[in-house]
Amino acid sequence: MPELVFFSGTMDCGKSTLALQIAHNRDARGLQGVIFTRDDRAGTGKLSSRLGLVTEAVEAPEGMDLYAYLVDQLSQGGKADYVIVDEAQFLAPVQIDQLARIVDDLGLDVYAFGITTDFRTKLFPGSQRLIELADRIEQLQVEALCWCGARATHNARTVGGHMVVEGEQVVVGDVNTAAEIVGYEVLCRRHHRRRMTSASSRAASLSPDVLPVTPA
């Protein structure tokens, strides 16, 4: 039976790499897929991995009807055996409903990849709807690591190396971004709560001892 599968994880845990691998494996068996993405780091209409792999994709802007797009492609003689959606957290809930309809009405497997929560630890609307509708949710097993070495569970937004907790939910950036502009870093819960990034941890380690010293 066709399924809507949600592959979730933090940034830098290999979601896009797995999406590319799934596409490669199916293409090698003669299957043809449609890849949707939004706001990929490599630019419009791209699905890219931090390992340097990249392929063409269909940009899915706000307001696009993904189900209607597939129906139009198929009615014009196109072929689609499966669908991959990267950066699925950026989709609107109604677009997630359209993915479920692709599974139910067109009989195609849909593999959606995305992060679950934003830099404020709040659910993305698209991810929330995927959790509500997906036939299966897979937590990626490749663990991203916090700067302290613990398992990273939270996505942090940084400006100038300092963590921020206010602003628009969607600001495109990456984990390999110059410190003076908006970037992202994965942290364990403890350091996300303390707003301690790798940059601020280095600064703290260089700070002088400010604890009061009582003479003997």
- Phi/psi for 116 (5° steps) reads -85, -50
Our answer to whether residue 87 is catalytic in this structure is yes
Torsion angle defined by CA atoms of residues 9, 11, 16 and 17, in that order, rounded to the nearest 10 degrees: -90
10 is in an annotated binding site: yes
* 104 annotated to bind ligand: no
Residue whose C-alpha is closest to residue 183's, from 148, 205, 202, 155: 155
Residue 16 labeled ligand binder: yes
Q: Is 207 annotated as a binding residue?
A: no
Tokens of 83: 């669908």
Q: Which of 87, 138, 166, 180 is catalytic?
A: 87
- Is 204 annotated to bind a ligand? Reply is no
Q: Is 86 annotated as a binding residue?
A: yes
Q: Comparing C-alpha atoms, which of 166, 140, 194 is closest to residue 11?
A: 140
Cβ contact 6:136 at 8 Å: yes
Q: Which 8-state DSSP code applies to residue 117?
A: B
Known binding residue 9? Answer is yes
- The reply to whether 166 sits in an annotated binding site is no
Q: Is 40 annotated as a binding residue?
A: no
HEC string of 33-51 equals EEEEECCCCCCCCEEECCC
Decide: 137 and 4 in contact? Cβ < 8 Å: no
Residue 72 counted as an annotated binding residue: no
Measured CA to CA, the distance from residue 129 to residue 99 in angstroms comes to 11
| Maximum pairwise Cα distance, the chain | 87
What does the alpha-carbon distance between residue 113 and residue 166 come to, in Å, rounded to a whole number?
25
Q: Which residues are annotated as a binding site for ATP?
A: 9-16, 86-89
Residue positions annotated with a catalytic role: 87
Q: Which residues are annotated as a binding site?
A: 9-16, 86-89
